[in-house]
Amino acid sequence: MTEFLDLETQDAVRMPWNVIPGTKQEAAQSVIPISAIYTPIKPLPNTTPLLPYSPLRCKNCRSVLNPFSIVDFSTKIWICSFCLHRNHFPHHYQSISDDNLPAELFPQYTTIEYEPQNERPMSQFSQLVPQVFFFVIDTCMIEEEIGFLRSGLERVIGEIPGNSLVGLITFGRYVCVHELGFFGKMNKVYVFNGAKEISKDQVLEQMGFFLKKPRPATGVVAGVRDGLSQESINRFLLPAADCEFALNSVLDELQKDPWPVPADQRAPRSTGTALTVAAHLLGVCVPGSGARIMAFLGGPATEGPGSIVSKALSEPIRSHKDLDKDAAPFFHKAVKLYEGLAKQLVHQGHVLDVFACALDQVGVAELKVAVEKTGGLVVLAESFGHSVFKDSLLRVFQSGDNDLGLSSNGIFEVNFSKDIKIQGVLGPCASLEKKGPLCSDTTIGQGGTTAWKMCGLDKSTSLCLIFDIVKKENPDVIGQAANNQFYFQFLTYYQHSNGQMRLRATTLSRRWVTGPGNIQDLIAGFDQEAAAVVMGRLVSFKMETEAEFDPIRWLDKTLIHLCSRFGDYQKDSPSSFVLSPRLSIIPQFVFNLRRSQFVQVFNNSPDETAYFRMVMNRENVANSVVMIQPSLISYAFNSGAEPALLDVASIAADRILLLDSFFTVVVFHGSTIAQWRKAGYQNEPEHKVFAQLLQAPLDDAEAIVKDRFPVPRLVICDQHGSQARFLLAKLNPSATYNSDAPPMPGGDVLFTDDVSFEIFLDHLQRLAVQ
């Protein structure tokens, strides 16, 4: 296991199969797809140098010089490990020799970053603009929520770097674009009709961008280059330092959307139009430079394009059931709008972040496409007053160790050995539709390309790449003997949060094996955590895209096939079934994945499901695993903190449990502990130990909360308390209300009919050996 973590530390990549089935057929038999979960800008070890020059690229395949390249020092030639093309070193590499290697050729620097100096930022638009934050604020909320949101934002405004540009839209029934640059004379607001779709041209026209200069006759109009004066842009986007006062004063006055709302109706909320306008405006003003639209939504969109429900309260917001039955009349229209928006934002290189804080659904399910394709952040909470929102927001702007490392304008490219093709990427990115020989015929997620746009990415953004092995069943001994390595190169070109463009190159090599005798090799290279996460992403993706898809069945089948192939058993003898330690936890992962919020949509709204999936789709393996199978730590007087089984049996009266399910962190006091605590023993000097016991899980929880985004919900509860459900829902129901055996004293039972892990395993064994 640790070797995989080491690999991750070095290259930020986790692969279910670290030894790769060498042929198409074998890959298919391996059940879990050949794939990789890659975190493009995961912080590198401090020792890794930042190279201040441009990388050397293969003239043929554009891959970057890397430690796997074969270098001929005498002739100053290097051979590309992907296409085997021979490249001459350019002049400034002339001094290269065995003892004088550039850093990119050091074997330990398979992942390395270049930050070429003096290079203008990429893209046709150019012009380096500081990070842009465009706030889009819903005002259809009760005053209290507005107050929370206001205070949340006010906390953050001071944190925005002074040179970052800031813009502001508030919306309710209408969309109000605040002209912050006009402040001083009079607060000025452009009001757009939220019920109407607005085109970019209309924005250009109607917001007076061509008053002083005639509009150019042809061509795309955008940015300073294209004929917009800085002055007219600065009306809406101002350096934070210059507009802090204006911003604060607008926030001060932020009030409920004044349009009257009949008692039997929802407030008219034109989320779709507001976001469209924001996108247009950014597209007009700062195309190509990093910009985030940060939407703060307090309820469902009901007005104009992007509505998710009608205004009549008598009509409920769509549920999973409605979606399944295609009985959500607004859904497809809204999704279509946001798909268009996503496309536009991707083109402009801008990010959409959503902070949805409402008891109701706000339409995250519809917004998902736009958020995901742009690599935006999403936070879902019940209220703007909740720490989940407040702290998460703060984290976005925080600098220091815990910063998110928000970067922008990323382009992600891949290169492989010729026998590997890419089916697609599951994760927050958008295809750039760069087709090539490396593209597989089948596609999954963002496929059919070898380059992706990542408008927004941060330290933990992780992509799941699904590969296809195209090598035919061909006992080509020579090939196998001479070169049994597959090479992968991941190139990420992005704008670092310091504003500079960087290129990170990660080059991997993995051994492939073929033939019946190599199953053990495959098992040895199997990373169950990565496998579970890939399955999680895959099953979520299939649930969303495939009609009539039965996830439970699919998961079960997958697991059974996996076990049949890699388990050790005698046919038809369940009791003989044994799994190698490399595979031993995977059934448990699948068991928990089946029960997880990703697969069990019952009791979750489409918004929540979308939220969970979006977060999983951008998180790295470790965090994703926690989402799939929460971690449980128990604290007791005699034993200190130790991991506990995620089972109802772990509950004991004299224990404290700490459950981390990623979205929530639960501190659960056993009944006795709770009594003592209520009695206040922890405050008495003689019970210092008890106080420490109480404090330990809190400290750990604190540590978890501190470096997680979105900030999890911290629940502190007692056994038999109502909040305990956050824990109980995650536990294996080994003891239920109709179990034969009574629970241990101080233990607990679950009121569920779900099967327990034991029964699940029984079935698995039986089926696997058939």
Q: Which residues bind other proteins (CB under 8 A)?
A: 174, 176, 179, 182, 185-193, 196, 198, 202, 205-208, 211-212, 249, 253, 258-260
CB of 309 to other proteins, least distance (A): 22
Amino acid at residue number 708: R
Tokens encoding 766: 């039986």
CB of 246 to other proteins, least distance (A): 12
Nearer to other proteins, 260 or 745 (CB): 260
Amino acid at residue number 130: P
Compute the distance between CA of residue 424 and CA of residue 81 in angstroms, rounded to an integer: 22
Nearer to other proteins, 252 or 568 (CB): 252
Backbone angles phi, psi at 94, to 5 degrees: -60, -30
Nearer to other proteins, 280 or 708 (CB): 280
**CA geometry: angle at 23 spanning 17 and 24, to 5°?**
95
Task: Give Cβ neighbours of residue 517 (< 8 Å, ≥ 6 apart).
Answer: none
Cis peptide before 316 (omega within 30 of 0): no
CB of 258 to other proteins, least distance (A): 6
Nearer to other proteins, 193 or 600 (CB): 193
CB of 189 to other proteins, least distance (A): 5
Using CA atoms, how far residue 506 sits from 114, 153, 398, 454, in Å, is 11, 38, 28, 17
SS3 of residue 124 by DSSP: coil
CB of 284 to other proteins, least distance (A): 13
| Contact between residue 171 and residue 271 where contact means Cβ atoms under 8 Å apart | yes
CB of 166 to other proteins, least distance (A): 19
Task: Give Cβ neighbours of residue 3 (< 8 Å, ≥ 6 apart).
Answer: none
| Axis crossing angle, helix 551-566 with helix 528-545, rounded to the nearest 10 | 150
Nearer to other proteins, 189 or 394 (CB): 189
CB of 260 to other proteins, least distance (A): 7
CB of 182 to other proteins, least distance (A): 8
Burial class of 203 by CB neighbour count within 10 A (0 to 12, 13 to 18, 19+):
buried
Tokens encoding 469: 């092995």
Amino acid at residue number 354: V
β-bridge mates for residue 666, sequence order: 659, 715
CB of 233 to other proteins, least distance (A): 16
Compute the distance between CA of residue 101 and CA of residue 95 in angstroms, rounded to an integer: 9
Nearer to other proteins, 207 or 491 (CB): 207
CB of 149 to other proteins, least distance (A): 19
Nearer to other proteins, 148 or 192 (CB): 192
| Contact between residue 710 and residue 392 where contact means Cβ atoms under 8 Å apart | yes
CB of 311 to other proteins, least distance (A): 15
Nearer to other proteins, 191 or 703 (CB): 191
Nearer to other proteins, 258 or 742 (CB): 258
CB of 223 to other proteins, least distance (A): 20
| Contact between residue 79 and residue 70 where contact means Cβ atoms under 8 Å apart | yes
Three-state secondary structure string covering 16-65 = CECEEECCHHHHHHCCCCCEEEECCCCCCCCCCCEECCCCCECCCCCCEC
Compute the distance between CA of residue 150 and CA of residue 144 in angstroms, rounded to an integer: 10
CB of 212 to other proteins, least distance (A): 6
Tokens encoding 393: 């927001």
Q: Exposure pattern of 356-388 as b/e (b: 16+ CB <10 Å)?
A: bbbeebbbbbbbbbbbbbbbbbbbbbebbbbeb
Nearer to other proteins, 221 or 633 (CB): 221
| Contact between residue 734 and residue 758 where contact means Cβ atoms under 8 Å apart | yes
Nearer to other proteins, 161 or 227 (CB): 227
Nearer to other proteins, 189 or 755 (CB): 189
β-bridge mates for residue 635, sequence order: 641, 656
Nearer to other proteins, 285 or 531 (CB): 285
CB of 295 to other proteins, least distance (A): 21
Residue for token pair 């604190």: 702
DSSP E strands: which ranges in 562-601?
Answer: 568-570, 573-578
Q: What is the CA radius of gyration of the chain?
A: 28
Nearer to other proteins, 120 or 215 (CB): 215
Nearer to other proteins, 142 or 679 (CB): 142
Compute the distance between CA of residue 707 and CA of residue 611 in angstroms, rounded to an integer: 19
Residue for token pair 């308390």: 721
CB of 171 to other proteins, least distance (A): 12
CB of 605 to other proteins, least distance (A): 32
Task: Give Cβ neighbours of residue 622 (< 8 Å, ≥ 6 apart).
Answer: 529
Kind and range of the H or E run holding 626 = helix 621-628
Task: Report CA 453 to chain centroid distance, whole Å.
Answer: 15
**Could you tell me how many residues make up the chain?**
770
Nearer to other proteins, 282 or 768 (CB): 282
